Amino acid sequence: MRLAALLSTLLPLVVAGAFLTTADAQEAAAAVPAARIAVHAARMLDVESGRVVADPLVLVEGDKIKEVSEKPIKAPDAATIDCGGRTLMPGLIDSHVHVVLSEVSIPRLENVPLTLMTARAAVLMRAMLDRGFTSVRDTGGADWGLKEATDKWLLPGPRLFIAGCRDAR
């Protein structure tokens, strides 16, 4: 299955999740069996060995990498994503972001409605994820509500760590 087809299958589920309560979203997620996805790329950066692996296969079950191999993996029930000539690599981490800082002028930012601020943050976080950042540390502004929303995929974005927040839940 190509990436576009997989995303077109998953996107309605993510969008539909925005209209569910947290309990409904958790119940729906529990009812779906863990997906098995085989990812094929032209190259893969292996950061542990410090080398680039040619023609790798990666088997993902749910949210865990189950197997990485340079030889065929036996997983006939797995959906396949062909990354074409791209290089597969670990997610990037940014340790200094401000996901809710959508205005340069702080006095103007103070007058932005929270709903608009959240919508702008959602766009910023999705763009971070699209650029390969899978974890970010917000150094001021984001709260545990944004963290919870990204953890539960109500808002697509990187894993969010909130700096200086004692109760980040």
CA 106 – CA 150 distance, rounded (Å): 25
**Cβ neighbours, 10 Å, residue 47:** 9
The answer on 121 and 48 residing in a single domain is no
In a domain? residue 169 = no
Query: Looking at residue 46, which CATH number applies to its domain?
Result: 2.30.40.10
Structure pTM? Answer: 0.67
The answer on 100 and 75 residing in a single domain is no
Per the structure, the complete domain to which residue 147 belongs is given by 92-162
Q: What is the CA 53 to chain-centroid distance, rounded? A: 24
The answer on 134 and 105 residing in a single domain is yes
Spell out the per-residue pLDDT of the chain, length 169, in tens: 333 333 333 333 333 333 333 444 344 445 445 689 999 999 999 999 999 999 999 999 988 899 999 998 999 899 999 999 999 999 999 999 999 998 888 889 899 999 999 999 999 999 999 999 999 999 988 999 999 999 998 999 999 999 975 555 5
